[in-house]
Amino acid sequence: MKVLLTAPYENEKALNELKGLFDEVIYRSWKPHGRAFNPEELIALLQETQVDALISEHDEITEEVLRANPHLKFVGICRGTPSNINLDVATELGIPVFNTPARNAQAVAEMFIANVITLMRNTVPAIDWLEGKNWGEGAHTSYLQFKGNELAGKKVGMVGFGAVGQHIARMLVSFPCEIFYFDPYYEDPNSEYKKVELEELFSSCDVIGIHLPVTAETKGMIDKKYLSLLNKDAIFVNTARATVVNREDLLEVIESGQIRGAVLDVFYNEPPDDIDYKMILNKNVIATPHIAGATHEVEDHHAFIMNNNLREFFHNGNKSIKQLVNKAVVEKTSIS
């Protein structure tokens, strides 16, 4: 089998491992190209290479791409959620689709915790104050002005409790923090965390993290109904997808000072528009440009996860591999 690889596989061991699984691997990473391949470019590349399968990361694998290549034996998507491929058409054509769940769970979890602590400890204004040469003779000026709070002892709520949410929870237990979650598709087998409805989560937690994909069920799901329940010391965190939250409602609770602040890594428009920038520039918001999952290690993770998926499916004869994505599986896990 001949495979086109456009996902980054910069880990030499992982690339050699993949080459050992198939007859030929043609490596054309999107990174030197400067951006993901659009449908026209991808169709041309598949035509040029005459491959039997494709492993991608961000390329636009639309209906047109799939119908132009119905012979593909599989498509691998090196992402936690295969949102850049038309799954309905892939299923119709009988093309198996693999993804790499939890590839960025560690990266997102670390940044989630780091930025929540940064906000709680007033680190950014303290740095600005210091760089502004505001330190006078009073030895305790900064100590009093920037005194913050500890994350330990706080109640943390996860909206969606899949790989990322569970990873954060495992790390926070040792602070210690009390973990609450809302996810109709997950039940903690050890009852280590408390499963609650959204109303209780928003009204009782000090930190609320959003960990939802965008589906018909989740788009705009977090709105004023829930945001109005947040207490004045609450911190709202979204490192998942912006459109699962009503941004006008979120902007209102931020600008009104109803909550302590927000940590945002995703926006309705990327690059942001004027409304997005109202949140980004608010002094009570720590905003980053969609980089929570951007570590060098994430590429290593997705390469080895994909290799393991393909090895199990094609070389071990296990046709019930859990990482094989189809319409039913995606619908069932739409929240978590």
Q: How far is CA 130 from CA 16, 144, 149, in A?
A: 49, 14, 20
Query: How far is Cα 147 from Cα 94, in angstroms, rounded to an integer?
Result: 59
Residue indicated by tokens 């705009």? 220
Q: Measured between alpha carbons, how far is 76 from 118 in angstroms, rounded to an integer?
A: 37
Read off the DSSP letter of residue 307. Answer: H
How far apart CA 61 and CA 43 sit, in angstroms, is: 9
Structure tokens at 217: 């069920």
Burial class (CB in 10 A: 0-12, 13-18, 19+), 201: buried
**Cross-strand bridge partners of residue 3:** 25, 53
Sign of the C-alpha dihedral, residues 48, 52, 57, 60?
A: positive
Closest CA to 32 of 69, 6, 50: 6
Residue 165 token pair: 């949410």
Q: Which entry of 35, 290, 296, 315 is annotated as an active-site residue? A: 290
297 is catalytic: no
- CB count, 10 Å around CB of 155? 16
Instruction: Please give the distance of CA 156 from its chain centroid, rounded to a whole number.
Output: 18
The residue from 192, 270, 297, 331 that is catalytic is 270
- Which residue among the candidates 79, 167, 211, 241 is catalytic per the annotation? 241
Q: Does 60 qualify as catalytic in the annotation? A: no
Tokens of 127: 């740095």
Q: Which two tokens stand for residue 203?
A: 């009204």
Active site residue 270: yes
Mode of pairing for the β-strands spanning 324-325 and 97-98? antiparallel
Note if the bond before 101 is cis, omega within 30 degrees: no
Active site residues: 241, 270, 290
